[in-house]
């Protein structure tokens, strides 16, 4: 006779399978998959046909912290420093000043129109102040929309680095609610310490992690993912113990390791990408179970008003103020304003008031859930249209049928990259031997439409060919710029 635990395993596996299939549906419908993950959880919950009773904010928060750490590390691991470096100032301005302005404006709205106390309103504003890149780019990919210029790396950097600021503001304002005698100005040096300490711990453990992975020489390859996962938890734990921001530390560790050479980098990046997806799905399912749809009905009007204020006032105002001193055009600022989808982090932060004993905890959690759901649904559907209206849509590169991996051994100095030949490149119609490629490069394969070509010196290149290069790191940028040149070499 199956035990109750076995039935739980069956139910969990079924929910995960349904969520994975739902992600396929979301890509066809052009809506963020997180909405369907949350929907599956709500249907399985006590108010849905599943009838599974779940009400444990502490478990949701604890699992959410671990899940968010894994997701941020994976995001950092996949972030190219070369691509985000040109927008580092704009991205950090959005992830700090922009988050603060959003929190203050939403706090003012809650105090003025929702009858919240001052710091309770700021708690609500802080909780929903961060954006979610996964939701944004899932929508853009499903609609085959690519953004022009540096907008994509800017949005990636903002969404990857703004969660720590939102966490700090949420915990700080909750402290002011639960400890009325606390000095609000004490949050300023605390913020500086947490961010500086978190960044320092992340950098040091990122550098140390690269050295450890390269020099440890484990007997079994399967232990390397265990090692890097341990490093994620260790980084968060050390940063939290010394008073730093653990989420920022984990993200910085991921960036440092992702832009360094270490053994099994390709396979470890895939492992953490898969782990991040698992954590994201499981987290959304649990959050969906924690929500009671019957409690959403009374706050529909409040939730719609708050979501509208966030999308139409708070987000645009924070973007235009944070980017006021940058060189971005009006259209680019408007596009960044549109890309303000909220994701799992606000819902996780929405559980924090429960554990602090705030009187408005349940109301705040369900308002946050409603805002996130509405923002993802409405803004997600409008993103492709906004990109076209603002003239910031670029053709997306065609999908690759042939994918090659190159494993850099030890601290190898080369990598395998793909370079597409533009239609106006001087290389079109020329043989490879005529190109005069920089030294230290080798063309190992050419992808041509739905076929591939094994290259030789006499192979003639065509527009749209994708050249798979094995090249030394110091000449990668030179090769890409070389093949993009127009006219005669």
Cα-to-chain-centroid distance, residue 216: 30
Q: State the DSSP H helix or E strand holding residue 459, giving kind and residue range, or none if neither.
A: none
> Would you give per-residue pLDDT tens digits along the chain (489 residues)?
455 778 778 877 887 887 777 777 666 665 666 777 777 777 777 666 766 777 777 888 888 889 889 988 998 898 888 888 888 999 999 999 999 999 999 999 999 998 899 999 999 999 999 887 666 666 666 566 678 778 888 888 888 788 889 999 999 999 999 888 878 888 888 888 999 999 999 999 999 999 999 988 888 888 999 999 999 999 999 999 999 999 999 999 999 999 988 888 888 999 998 898 888 888 878 877 777 777 788 888 898 999 999 999 999 999 999 999 888 889 999 999 988 888 778 888 888 898 888 888 888 988 998 888 888 778 777 777 888 888 887 766 555 445 555 555 444 456 677 777 777 777 788 888 887 777 777 788 888 877 788 888 788 888 888 888 777 666 666 666 666 666 554
Which pLDDT belongs to residue 477? 64
Residues forming a β-bridge with 442: 470
**Could you write out the DSSP letters of every residue in 109-142?**
HHHHHS---HHHHHHHHHHT----HHHHHHHHHH
Burial zone of 307 (CB within 10 Å; 0-12 exposed, 13-18 middle, 19+ buried) = buried
Which pLDDT belongs to residue 227? 95
CB atoms within 10 A of CB 223: 12
Which pLDDT belongs to residue 31? 63
Spatial contact of 154 and 335, defined as CB atoms under 8 Å apart:
no
**Could you write out the DSSP letters of every residue in 376-422?**
HHHHHHHHHHHHHHTT-EEPPPPPPS--------TT-SEEEEEEE--
Which pLDDT belongs to residue 280? 81
Radius of gyration of the chain from Cα atoms? Answer: 24
Which pLDDT belongs to residue 46? 67
Q: Which CATH class is domain 55-394?
A: mainly alpha
Q: Go through 104-124 and write b for each residue having 16 or more CB atoms within 10 A of its CB, e for each that does not.
A: bbbbbbbbeebebeebbbbbb
Sketch the domain layout of the chain as residue ranges.
55-394, 414-483
For residue 448, the SS3 value is strand
Spatial contact of 183 and 362, defined as CB atoms under 8 Å apart:
no
Distance, in Å, from the CA atom of 131 to the CA atom of 159, rounded to the nearest integer, reads 5
Cα–Cα separations (whole angstroms), residue 238 to 161, 198, 226: 19, 9, 18
What DSSP character marks residue 467? Answer: E
**Could you write out the DSSP letters of every residue in 44-64?**
HBTTSTT-B----HHHHHHHH
CATH 3.40.50.2300 matches 414-483: no
Which pLDDT belongs to residue 409? 47
User: What dihedral do alpha carbons 392, 398, 399, 402 form, nearest 10°?
Assistant: -140
User: Which two three-digit tokens encode residue 417?
Assistant: 């990259």
Which pLDDT belongs to residue 250? 95
């Amino acid at each position: 006779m199956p035990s109750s635990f076995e039935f739980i395993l069956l139910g969990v596996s079924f929910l995960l399978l349904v969520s994975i299939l739902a992600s396929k549906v979301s890509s066809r419908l052009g809506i963020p998959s997180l909405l369907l993950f949350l929907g599956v959880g709500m249907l399985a919950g006590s108010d849905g046909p599943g009838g599974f009773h779940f009400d444990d904010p502490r478990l949701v928060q604890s699992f959410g912290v671990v899940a968010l750490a894994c997701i941020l590390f994976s995001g950092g691991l996949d972030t190219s420093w070369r691509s985000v470096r040109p927008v580092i100032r704009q991205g950090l301005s959005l992830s700090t000043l922009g988050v603060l302005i959003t929190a203050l404006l939403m706090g003012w709205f809650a105090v003025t129109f929702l009858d919240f106390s001052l710091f309770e309103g700021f708690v609500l504003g802080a909780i929903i102040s961060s954006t979610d890149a996964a939701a944004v780019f899932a929508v853009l990919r499903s609609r085959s929309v690519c953004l022009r210029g540096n907008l994509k790396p800017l949005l990636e950097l903002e969404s990857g680095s703004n969660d720590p600021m939102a966490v700090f503001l949420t915990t700080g304002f909750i402290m002011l609610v639960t400890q009325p005698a606390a000095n609000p100005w004490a949050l300023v040096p605390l913020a500086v310490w947490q961010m500086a300490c978190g960044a320092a711990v992340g950098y040091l453990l990122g550098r140390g992690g690269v050295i450890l992975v390269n020099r440890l020489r484990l007997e079994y390859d399967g232990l390397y993912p265990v090692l890097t996962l341990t490093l994620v938890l260790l980084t968060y734990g050390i940063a939290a113990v010394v008073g730093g921001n653990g989420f920022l530390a984990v993200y910085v560790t991921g960036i440092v390791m992702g832009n360094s050479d270490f053994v099994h980098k390709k396979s470890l990046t895939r492992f953490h990408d898969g782990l991040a997806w698992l954590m994201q799905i499981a987290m959304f399912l649990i959050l969906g179970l924690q929500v009671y749809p019957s409690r959403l009905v009374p706050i529909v009007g409040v939730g719609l008003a708050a979501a509208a204020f966030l999308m139409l006032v708070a987000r645009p105002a924070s973007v235009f103020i944070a980017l006021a001193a940058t060189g971005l055009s009006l259209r680019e600022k408007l596009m960044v304003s549109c890309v303000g989808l909220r994701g799992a982090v606000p819902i996780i932060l929405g559980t924090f008031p429960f554990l602090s004993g705030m009187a408005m905890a349940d109301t705040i959690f369900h308002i946050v859930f409603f805002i996130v759901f509405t923002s993802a649904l409405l803004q997600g559907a409008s993103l492709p249209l906004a990109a076209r209206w603002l003239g910031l849509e670029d053709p997306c590169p065609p999908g690759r049928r042939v994918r090659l991996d190159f494993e850099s051994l030890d601290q190898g100095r080369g990598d395998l990259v793909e370079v597409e030949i533009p239609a106006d490149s001087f290389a079109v119609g020329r043989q490879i031997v005529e190109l005069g490629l920089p030294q230290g490069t080798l063309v190992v394969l050419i992808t041509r439409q739905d076929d591939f070509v094994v290259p030789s010196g006499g192979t003639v290149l065509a527009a749209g060919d994708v050249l798979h290069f094995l090249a030394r790191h110091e000449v990668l940028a030179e090769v890409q710029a070389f093949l993009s040149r127009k006219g005669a070499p």
